[in-house]
């Protein structure tokens, strides 16, 4: 049986000029670090989901994946194919959350918080992707919108 907030043991592929796989393992924790942070996800329905998450800070993972100098965004893809394109500046402050604790839900009931979860300060609720499968460096050309790169 899997503990709540630890629904998946699959790794997440992070693609830059190199490919890095991130999973909840001692080797990954040693290589990239492990952190605990509070995040609030503000849903468009008015519901607010607050939780303390533990996971891998993504800045060091991005460095290991060797993102190209022109990288402007990351394309975050869930296992079900849902995608969002997030500014690389926001993504560098992100945590790939593998475990959640101290869950609080305001203005609604229940919460679907599949892991691993892409979390960062000030993300739109649609950008806090659950069940992350892949994170890829992309360069959005001037005049294009990040939404053109995502299915979300």
Q: Could you tell me the pTM of the whole model?
A: 0.86
Whether the pLDDT of residue 54 is over 90: the answer is yes
C-alpha dist (Å) from residue 74 to 30, 66, 68, 150? 24, 13, 11, 10
pLDDT in tens, 8-47: 456 999 999 999 999 999 999 999 999 999 998 888 788 8
Q: How does DSSP classify residue 16? A: S
Whether the pLDDT of residue 85 is over 70: the answer is yes
Whether the pLDDT of residue 64 is over 60: the answer is yes
CA 46/CA 55 separation, integer angstroms: 26
Least confident of 7-11, 102-106, 147-151: 7-11
Least confident of 20-24, 106-110, 112-116, 131-135: 106-110
């Amino acid at each position: 049986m899997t503990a709540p907030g630890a629904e998946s043991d699959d790794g997440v592929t992070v693609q830059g000029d190199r490919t890095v796989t991130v999973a909840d393992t001692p080797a990954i924790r040693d290589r990239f670090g492990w952190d605990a942070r509070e995040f609030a996800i503000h849903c468009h329905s008015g519901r607010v989901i607050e939780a303390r998450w533990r996971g891998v800070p993504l800045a060091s993972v991005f460095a290991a994946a060797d993102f190209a100098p022109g990288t402007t965004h990351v394309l975050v893809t869930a296992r079900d194919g849902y995608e969002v394109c997030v500014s690389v500046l926001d993504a560098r402050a992100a945590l790939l959350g593998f475990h959640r604790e101290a869950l609080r839900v305001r203005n609604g009931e229940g919460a679907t918080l599949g892991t691993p979860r892409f979390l960062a300060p000030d993300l739109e609720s649609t950008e806090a992707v659950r069940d992350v499968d892949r994170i890829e460096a992309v360069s959005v050309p001037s005049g294009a919108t990040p939404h053109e790169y995502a299915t979300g």
